[in-house]
Structure 1
Amino acid sequence: MATIVFAPPDLPTGTLRVIPLGGVGEIGRNMTSFEYEGKILIVDCGVLFPEDRQPGVDLILPDFTPIRERLDDIVGVVLTHGHEDHIGAVPYLLRLRADIRLIGSRLTLALLQAKLQEHRIVPVTLQVAEGGHERIGPFDLEFIAVNHSIPDSLAVAIKTPGGTVLHTGDFKLDQRPLDGRVTDLAAFGRLGQEGVDLLIVDSTNADVPGYTASERVIRPVLDDVIRRAPRRVIVASFASHVHRVQQVLDSAFDNHRRVAFLGRSMVRNMGIAVRLGYLHPPDGVLVDFRKSAGIPENEMVYMTTGSQGEPMAVLSRMVSREHEIVVGPGDTVLLASGLIPGNESAIYRIIDGLTKLGAHVVHKGNAVVHVSGHAAAGSLLFVYNIVKPLNVLPVHGEPRHLFANAELAIETGVAAENVFVAEDGIVLDLRSGRVTQVGQLDIGYVFVDGSTVGELTEADIKDRRILAQEGFISVIVVVAVATGAVIVGPEIHSKGFAEDESVFDEVKPLIVAALVEAAVNDVRDMHALSQIVRRVVGRWVNVTFHRQPMIVPLVIEA
């Protein structure tokens, strides 16, 4: 069903307006705008990583259009945690206004500041912690500890006279977390007793029954894999997964191996985690990669990036033989992460490539080497029952996740009309416990392509897909001005379509005949003649080869 776009009215006095600018209907580019009495608070500002169907795209940003003309009204950006899909777009927002205050936990701000340094941006920051309260413009904020796959994650309660919103951020209910920091359900329950008018809630695992396993369950598997490996062990994970890295370090130490970090983001992030005390390497376990060559191969573990098949990451470069580590028989590669939707093909290409090189590949499909950082259905039901929200907005999920989460909310007693399965750009107004949809903005993808931001369009992406999948055909014809007769050509050249261009001999007479007919009908406009050539070639290619390449005709007057 097509989304009906309609503009919201002016914001009434005493009303809180909520607009998700990304992260609803997708897993990535999370960003939500809250407006009260003319001031705007933003929660998260992340990126979405491109899929195979978006060739050449580096990143996808939230759509800043609704706030672009109101940058001076922004009082701050609350960052729930340090994952790229929640902080990755901050540099692009700060390009528009550099002094927007960034609010987050110690680790979140440290990871973000390292990123901003690469963009040569010095941010204005406010460090907060669980249990803390801050007054930011007209917004009273309370920060609540939640457990996730990165330390220092926070939920945030946003209180205004218009109503109270609880934004969970990404969370799960791990009762045995490695760092001992559990999701603060007591705070959730207290807020529920005080009254939560709108719960904005993580949906990623809403369609998964039961409860998400503890991070601790993968340690025995890590021990077994590392103990049995005859040569090197290469572990690929997210560069921000401090808990996963901690377990690898501990397992390597217990199995008398050293560990070297590979990949710029892995080295940077783990350096920050060690410096701030979130990562605790056992004595002597870490070694610089440049010194690892002198250590026996059966005593080394390499912790690297590339678990999602990213083309420029270390693991992909190992597969393509473009890295110093030459993977071969006897090596063990462990992909210690799950599949982000859209990355499946890239990940399986990596697995196949490593297998062809002779490596033993351990991944989620054949071993328990990953647990999710998101609450499954059982945990979500528990949260609904203790928070007892009047209204619910499922976020952070594709449509199937959002609908599953909505069903859970309804099962716990939330009225169906108060559960909003939405798309990016929905405009919700909250007042006196009632949430109403008052608008739907046209929110699009903003593509980062090299140094350009927002210049690439969906049409450009479609053209790239056609070029990549179907090829390119150019047709050059010179016609006489007076008669329209063909003087030179047609000359036909192709790329990515056919090696032998003699295949086009069959269509050349059809082009000439069509141009002659156009001349008889007194068609002299060069653009019109070009379109005739395009249609003739396109129809012939489709019938003959069942393909739809990009066709660029050029008709020249002589």
Structure 2
Amino acid sequence: MSHPHPDLTLPPPLEPGVLRIVALGGLGEVGRNMAVLEIDGRLLVIDCGVLFPEDHQPGVDLILPDFDYIADRLDAIEAIVLTHGHEDHIGAVPYLLRLRPDIPLVGSQLTLAFVVAKLKEHKITPRTLTVAEGSVERLGAFECEFVAVNHSIPDALAVAVRTAAGTVLHTGDFKMDQLPLDGRITDLRAFARLGEAGVDLFMVDSTNAEVPGFVAGEREIGPVLDRVFGESGRRIVVASFSSHVHRVQQVLDAAALHGRRVALVGRSMVRNMAIAGELGYLKVPDGVLVDVKNVDSLPDDEVVLMCTGSQGEPMAALSRIANNDHQIKVGPGDTVILASSLIPGNENAVYRVINGLMRLGARVVHSGNAKVHVSGHAAAGELVYCFNILRPRNVMPVHGEVRHLVASGALAVKAGVPAANVVLAEDGVVVDLSDGQARIVGAVPCGYVYVDGSSVGTITEAELKDRRILGDEGFVSIFAVVSSADGSVLAGPQIQARGFAEGDEVFEAILPELTSALQDAARTGADTHQLQQVIRRVVGRWVSNRLRRRPMIIPVVIEA
């Protein structure tokens, strides 16, 4: 297998007739999926999603793909093809369209409906092209055929991209549920047909490549929800992704069966389910939906609240409920169902929410103690099926952490793909396809782009490090006035600290040493910057030795 190396250089200029593939997100992580295909100066983007921040990225709202690679070639983009409507595949579209609002968006009916609603909040009216399984569209240098795939959201599509250099099949997110709730299975007949014609590069969802066998069907969730609803004597709260139409459908059906009413909680949940209902993807039983404002007038044993926050997102409804900081309250006898799996990196946040809910007295049902969720990603057995059906010339695992990509590549080799034709790439690694061979030819800069409030891309790793220090180690400020004539200390040093268990008086012990060090440095002609460095060094050493802390130290020196 081909592995990326840290010493990869910038790729050579792209030769005519060669197809170049660069992932700007989604390889080495679960989220912010975005791939750029290029041939003869024209570009096609597949997906444009976000990644949600982890604990070590304080204050960050979203993480975007790095658009720098295409920033000076936006006019060359033929379209953005969207495989489905999950945030990790569509969430960054508004930020790319800010740079060029008229890039056509291509996707299924539900996917585009979710995107258009999102763009409306950003005051962007996009150009859209609605496609369905079986559609074939010529997008400049790229001919795209769309194939139905089954996922945890309706209307998901794989895309086969035909170019002068060969055919690429990108699965998007998929699994092979044979009895899906909507009856729409992954079209393996189309996969077989594409395989017969020849797939030169198979870009395959690898999130569950480490999981043996096959993913359980969505229909297995219904009886479990039915049992939990039957056992619950008070309010039920169900948390799920705001785009998980199938799960919301199952909750609506279970509620109708047990004589309960359902209130949708959270702006994104209300918006997405309204769209799904209007388009016919969500079938709402008569009389089941109720406005959240009216739930307090209903008996507790007739209420189901469907909300966001299954991944422990701090501002989502469930986290606020767990913190007792929401209009919805839970207590003894209430049941909370987390109807989702853990996304890698979110474990601590989810467990915090579970603990908070249980502290309030609620019973919490989650994927660790009941079958209330099944994955939307193909497991190892399903991937091997696809490798055997397609017999691709080259395989490039996508959508997953490094361990997932490696496991997916190993499955391809077991299924008969030559090891030299399995390309393991990470974000920014450049892969060229020519003469039936895919190979790594270099790498381009590809970092995280942070959204922090209204700012996009202005927060750097250095600033995040400062935030982590402030949060973990505290803050010390020192103010001093020195004489420009003889270096004597005219005022101060005054020390103030934040984030310390000890009071400011503990720093009085360092004042004589600090004053002496300042006077000695000032007599030698040190300027204010050098004096500040003296303060930082003396105080930092003392705090480290005495208090075992490494705080942020901000010295201020004024000459008078």
TM-score (norm 1): 0.98
The letter for the 2-side match of 1:236 is A
**2:480/2:494 contact within 8 Å kept:** yes
**Secondary structure of the equivalent of 2:70?**
helix
Q: Equivalent of 1:461, from 464, 479, 501? A: 464
Q: Deviations over 1:421-475 (max 9, x none)?
A: 2111111111120112222011011111111111111111111111111110001
Q: Equivalent of 1:535, from 512, 520, 537? A: 537
The letter for the 1-side match of 2:535 is V
**2:522/2:531 contact within 8 Å kept:** no
Counterpart of 2:528? 526
Q: Give me the identity figure in percent.
A: 62
Tell me whether 1:45 sits opposite 2:51 in the alignment: no
**Secondary structure of the equivalent of 2:491?**
strand
The letter for the 2-side match of 1:542 is S
Counterpart of 2:344? 341
- Aligned-residue Cα RMSD (Å) equals 1.3
Q: Measure the CA separation in 1 of the matches of 2:33 and 2:525.
A: 53
Match runs of 1:222-237 below 5 Å: 222-237=225-240
Q: Measure the CA separation in 2 of the matches of 1:266 and 1:206.
A: 30
**1:523/1:529 contact within 8 Å kept:** no
**1:385/1:412 contact within 8 Å kept:** yes
Counterpart of 1:129? 132
Segment of structure 1 superposing worse, 459-468 or 306-315: 306-315
Tell me whether 1:148 sits opposite 2:157 in the alignment: no
Q: Equivalent of 1:555, from 541, 554, 557? A: 557
Tell me whether 1:89 sits opposite 2:87 in the alignment: no
Q: How far has the Cα of 1:485 moved from its partner?
A: 2.6
The letter for the 2-side match of 1:446 is V
Counterpart of 1:403? 406
Counterpart of 1:379? 382
Tell me whether 1:163 sits opposite 2:166 in the alignment: yes
Q: Measure the CA separation in 1 of the matches of 2:85 and 2:387.
A: 25
Counterpart of 2:252? 249
Tell me whether 1:546 sits opposite 2:528 in the alignment: no
Q: How far has the Cα of 1:5 moved from its partner?
A: 4.6
**1:5/1:442 contact within 8 Å kept:** no
**Secondary structure of the equivalent of 1:207?**
coil
Q: How far has the Cα of 1:122 moved from its partner?
A: 0.5
Q: Measure the CA separation in 2 of the matches of 1:346 and 1:198.
A: 37
- Which structure 1 residue ranges, 4+ long, deviate > 6 Å from structure 2? none
Counterpart of 1:193? 196
**2:239/2:309 contact within 8 Å kept:** yes
Tell me whether 1:290 sits opposite 2:293 in the alignment: yes
Q: Equivalent of 1:324, from 323, 327, 330? A: 327
Q: Equivalent of 1:470, from 455, 468, 473? A: 473
**2:340/2:367 contact within 8 Å kept:** yes
* Structure 1, unpaired ranges of 5+: none
Q: Measure the CA separation in 2 of the matches of 1:9 and 1:257.
A: 63
Tell me whether 1:278 sits opposite 2:281 in the alignment: yes
Q: How far has the Cα of 1:2 moved from its partner?
A: 6.8
Q: Measure the CA separation in 2 of the matches of 1:454 and 1:40.
A: 23
Q: Deviations over 1:17-39 (max 9, x none)?
A: 11101111011110000111111
Counterpart of 1:183? 186
Segment of structure 1 superposing worse, 29-38 or 486-495: 486-495
Q: How far has the Cα of 1:320 moved from its partner?
A: 2.6
**Secondary structure of the equivalent of 1:510?**
helix
How many correspondences in the alignment?
557
Q: How far has the Cα of 1:321 moved from its partner?
A: 2.5
Q: Equivalent of 2:222, from 219, 224, 248? A: 219
Segment of structure 1 superposing worse, 367-376 or 540-549: 540-549
Q: Measure the CA separation in 2 of the matches of 1:308 and 1:557.
A: 53
Counterpart of 1:423? 426
Q: Measure the CA separation in 2 of the matches of 1:109 and 1:239.
A: 16
**Secondary structure of the equivalent of 2:368?**
coil
**2:423/2:439 contact within 8 Å kept:** no
**2:69/2:445 contact within 8 Å kept:** no
Counterpart of 1:514? 517
Q: Measure the CA separation in 1 of the matches of 2:309 and 2:440.
A: 41
**1:472/1:495 contact within 8 Å kept:** yes
Q: How far has the Cα of 1:396 moved from its partner?
A: 0.8
Q: Deviations over 1:359-393 (max 9, x none)?
A: 11111111111110001111111111111111111
Q: Measure the CA separation in 1 of the matches of 2:311 and 2:169.
A: 31
Q: Measure the CA separation in 2 of the matches of 1:16 and 1:280.
A: 43
Q: Deviations over 1:501-554 (max 9, x none)?
A: 11112222222232244245x242111111111111111111222221111111
**1:102/1:126 contact within 8 Å kept:** yes
**1:497/1:549 contact within 8 Å kept:** no
TM-score (norm 2): 0.97
**1:15/1:429 contact within 8 Å kept:** yes
Q: Measure the CA separation in 1 of the matches of 2:27 and 2:469.
A: 28
The letter for the 2-side match of 1:251 is A
Q: How far has the Cα of 1:334 moved from its partner?
A: 0.6
